[in-house]
Homo-oligomer: A and B are copies of this chain.
Amino acid sequence: MTDLALGVDIGGTNLRVGAIDPSGELAARRSVVTPAGAGREPAAAGRDLVSVIVDTAAEVLADAGGPADARVPMGIGFAGGISRDGRAVYGSNVSTRDFPLRDEVSSRLGHDHVVVVNDANAATWGEFCHGAGRDAGDLVMATIGTGVGGGVVSNGNLVMGSQGFGGEVGHMVVARDGWRCTCGHRGCLEAYASGSALARHATALIDDGGSSLLQQIGDFTPADVTWAASAGDDLALAAIDRLGGWLGIGLASLVTLLDPDVVLIGGGVTEHIGGWLLPAATAAMQGQTFAGEWRDDPEVRLAALGDRAGMIGAADMARRAAEGGMP
């Protein structure tokens, strides 16, 4: 019991808390709706968030049979920019701005074994320690959800960067002046390889004269494309193939720059279309990687931990920090 650590994953939609043992197994978990704080002052939104984290963590610790007053390390992954001193600088879907999340949680818990990092970095670390990257020394991960996130482990160290903003795989440029991205720029990997891009690729194929079950749906969504692909719709499958091709180009840049031995593809979208995406992305990656004829291609795999990766990675980081290690 005393070896449990808490992992918190603050996503745009759900806030997940797990009590996690040293082998990465969840002893208990709960999920609540993320208090997005719409209409609240940024600081008040931050305090609401802290309350939900602390209360849910106490419940999860009780579920796991742990003592309520224990100084259990807590790692928090947050969907947004986290500074090296644990401030939530901005949030993808939470209105908190430049909020001292680590210090406020620490103050409420009464101990300083609290670590806050970007959620995709936490998930990457989770897969590296306990998931599909367990055997890797150098790992890159791209997570395909509404957007594209990810992370980098170099020689066993998580790359967080000078300000804590490292690992934003989705906003590397793959096509200068290309498709508009949600970040406001153009040509980012996310614009071409996110779940949202799936409908864009299908639309482009229809505009090129293709025919599809999707044409019976007025304003189709990425989920509709996934459904159509499952029904054997060739155009939907071609859209997934295009997305995989773009993802592979992004992965090729990562491999060329970082030379990992393992590449992981994760995120909610891969739960549905990962089996189609993996070969398309791998082929495109291999075709574009620098000096491909001289190197062993990295293994490209699907992530293994699903929506637990962020909790597991954050908890591991907090455990190490409490023991005087990273980060």
Interface residues of A (CB under 8 A from B): 81, 89-90, 136-138, 152, 154-155, 157, 159-169, 171-176, 183, 185, 188, 246, 249-250, 252-254, 256-261, 287-288, 290-291, 294-296, 298
| Residues in chain B near residue A246, CB distance under 8 A | 176
Is the CB–CB distance between A249 and B173 below 8 Å? yes
A166 touches which one: B163, B252, B258 (CB < 8 A)? Answer: B258
Contact B259 A163 (CB under 8 A): yes
Q: Interface SS of chain A: helix, strand, loop or mixed?
A: loop
Copies of the chain in the assembly: 2
Complex CA gap A166/B258 in Å reads: 5
Q: In the assembled complex, which residues on chain B have CB atoms less than 8 Å from the CB atom of A185? A: 287-288, 290
B89:A162 contact, CB within 8 angstroms: no
**Contact of A155 (CB < 8 Å), options: B159, B165, B260, B287:** B159
Cβ B258 vs Cβ A173 within 8 A: no
CB distance A291 to B81 under 8 Å?
A: yes
Tell me the nearest residue of chain B to A97, going by C-beta.
B294
Q: Which of B81, B137, B172, B261 contacts A257 (CB 8 A)?
A: B172
Cβ contacts A to B, 5 pairs, < 8 Å:
A89-B294, A154-B166, A166-B259, A172-B256, A183-B291
Contact at B183–A290, with CB atoms within 8 Å? yes
